[in-house]
Amino acid sequence: MKKKNLLLIVYLSLVVLIMYACSTDDIDELDPDETEQTETEDPEVPEDTGDTKDDDLNPNSQTVSYENAVLIAFSTSGATVTNPFEDNGVTVENNNGHVTITSTLTETELNYVLSGIIADGSVKIYGEKKFGLILNGVGITNSTGAAINIQNKKKCTVTLVDKTNNRLIDGSTYTYTDGEDMKATFFSEGNVVVEGNGSLEIRGKNKHALATDGALTMTAGTINIKEAASDGIHTNDEITFSGGTLSVRSVGDGIQSESIDNPISITGGAITIVTTGEKGHAIKTEQNVEIESTGTIDITTYGAASKGIKPTGDATIRKGSITINTAGNAIWDTSELDISSAAGVKCDGNFLMEDGTLTILSTGKGGKGINADGTLIINGGTVTVTTTGDQYVYNSSNDTAAKAIKSDGNLTINGGTVKIRTSKTEAEGLESKATLIINDGEVDIEAYDDAINATTHIQINGGNIYCNSTTNDAIDSNGTLTVTGGVVIAAGATQPEAGFDCDNSRFTITGGTLIGIGGDTSTPTASSSTQRSLIFHSSTSNIQYVRIETTSGGKEVLTFKLPKTYSSRMTMLFSSSTLAASTGYTIYTGGSISDGTNFHGYYTGATYTKGSSAGTFTTGSAAGAVTTVGTSQGGGGGRP
């Protein structure tokens, strides 16, 4: 019995291996009518986990010496105050660990040094002169208000003493003082500068974790905001990060500035932000966001309609490593009477990418990668956008689909690398509601809907461009289309969809290498083109290879492996400067290719073993002549 079972197991294992081998052999024989181009697992947004454990404190870990210092040492019994300026304008009230400091000094800059741990205490500071706040292993919990409440409107320089851990926790409800603002665990009326090499943990149970009515600058140290009922960091003025480590977890915005005059600027440091609430944006400002960072930025938003970077003005990335994951679905915004979607970057102004890396994953319904109301320009760097969310529908009459990169204004790629993947209903790749221009760079798009789409005009002047659409056109201009250079591989869906579609408007080719496959194609406009083109219609199913060479002498013009095959008719548009005037050519399909290098199936220097002849043609003498082989079924957006 055991021997029979063993033989059965071996037999079943062989069957599984044979089935697996067959399935891998058929990978290139995909039917474009299928909803997915490749059988790959969707990437996942990191798990939504919070840090519920407080960091260990190192109370009074070392003796620090500062000039003009007032010392406050907390303990289980309250606080011990050392005040050398008691007779010179500085008073300290100590109510069982709730300490209020009032300074009337206008010439001397004081340093307030806090240490020790207290379970029911606080520090409030009044004054008219800028000062230093030294956190030397202090832990303050205040169940009725802010742990640190600075009513002095002058600059406060916070020093996190080296090798110390510090902690601030507020209460879920506050007892307020008339005429005074208090809206965070650490609150300041004036500017705040954070420096030093220690760490500070903040928990904001009432509203914000760290808030200032002035500006915030962080140059060093570690700030760990483990929870915030509203915003992690909230300011009324500019925010600048140039160093240190910041981590934020909040229900509301991670970092928010209400300034309309000054930007959020990030030039260094390591920043990690997690938001969990609806419209909980990671970085939000009423002005611009400017990133030229030597560090890293990691963002995850889980709430519906939440954005990673959300400026009312412009978003500019000049350098840095930025990763943004959004998991929230779109919602119907009752105040705007419109749909609001999650997005990696959503700017009401312009988007500019100069250098660095920007990686965005959006998994929610209707989620966007980059969405700019103004212009969108990529000059360099690497941009990778993946959307896996389906279409969002509200009341059957309003809907929005996922989009990778979209601008209402002109969209221009001057260089860099752009990689896009979309996989659900009507999800487009690269879209401009105006003019879309590609001058250079590497562009790699696999989209469920149009890979590239523009309302007014598409112009390709250079670069290496690969576009593959599962259900629609690869490159679709609702206006005109011009190609002057570059290598362009465009794979559309079955008829009536096309590799190149410009709705019967002017289609000009003056340079470059174009290979477009699909169910049909728009026909180049001979009168405006200066480069010859071939349109090849084939009724042969599942063509894998196409070869074009001169009839006399067999000189190679095109060796191409289709990125996907078509179960019925296929149309290919080919245009290249290698197509000479009044010259005979032969088209072969099938066969095999070995060696050489290729760009998404476009081979150079390869060895081709001939398949079957699919026809011959002779080019026209005119520079922009278009030659057709085979018969088109016509129809649809791609009709000639």
Distance CA 276, CA 461 (A): 43
Edge-to-edge strands of the sheet including 602-604? 597-599, 602-604, 556-561, 545-550, 584-589, 612-618
Q: Is the pLDDT of residue 567 over 50?
A: yes
Q: What integer is the mean pLDDT of 586-598?
A: 95
Q: What is the Cα–Cα distance from 639 to 215, expressed in whole angstroms?
A: 59
Quote the pLDDT of residue 18.
36
Q: Is 360 exposed, middle or buried (0-12, 13-18, 19+ CB in 10 A)?
A: buried
pLDDT beyond 70 at 16: no
Output the pLDDT for position 98: 98
Question: pLDDT confidence of 9, banded at 50, 70, 90?
Answer: very low
Give the per-residue pLDDT at 634: 54
Q: For the residues 25-35, what does the mean pLDDT come to? A: 34
CA dist 415 and 381 (Å) reads 8
Please state, in angstroms and as integers, the Cα–Cα distance from residue 440 to each residue in 437, 487, 530, 531, following that order: 9, 10, 21, 20
| Amino acid at site 75 | S
92 contacts 101 by C-beta, under 8 angstroms: yes
Q: What SS3 class is residue 8?
A: helix
Record the tokens describing residue 317, joined without a space. 């990335």
Domain edges within the chain: 64-237, 246-407+419-427, 484-640
Both tokens of 530, joined, read 């200066």
* 16-30, 172-186, 317-331, 354-368: least confident range: 16-30
Element (H, E) at 10: helix 2-25
- Helix, strand or coil, per DSSP, at residue 621: coil
Across the range 428-435, mean pLDDT stands at 98
Higher pLDDT, 30 or 504: 504
pLDDT classification of 20: cutoffs 50, 70, 90 = very low
Check whether 45 has a pLDDT greater than 50: yes
Given a cut of 90, whether residue 433 has pLDDT beyond it is yes
pLDDT of 64 above 90:
no
Average pLDDT, the chain: 91
Burial 305-342 (b: 16+ CB within 10 A, else e): bbbbbbbebbbbbbbbbbbbbbbbbbbeeeeeeebbbb
Matching residue, tokens 């903040």: 202
pLDDT band at 430 (very low <50, low <70, confident <90, very high): very high
Q: Is 408 exposed, middle or buried (0-12, 13-18, 19+ CB in 10 A)?
A: middle
Percent of the chain with pLDDT over 70: 91
| Average pLDDT, integer, range 148-157 | 98
Please give the C-alpha separations between residue 530 and each of 397, 510, 524, 580, 624, in angstroms, as whole numbers: 46, 5, 10, 12, 4
* Spatial separation of the C-alpha atoms in residues 131 and 148, rounded to whole Å: 14
Please give the average per-residue pLDDT across 505-510, as a whole number.
97
User: Average pLDDT, stretch 326-351?
Assistant: 96
Q: What is the pLDDT of residue 504?
A: 80
Lowest mean pLDDT among 35-44, 225-234, 264-273: 35-44
pTM (predicted TM-score) = 0.91
Q: Is-contact 79 122, C-beta < 8 A?
A: no
Q: What are phi and psi of 554, to 5 degrees?
A: 65, 30
Residues 6+ apart with CB under 8 A from 411: 375, 376, 377, 405, 430, 431, 432, 434, 435, 436, 437, 454
Classified as helix, coil or strand, 478 is coil
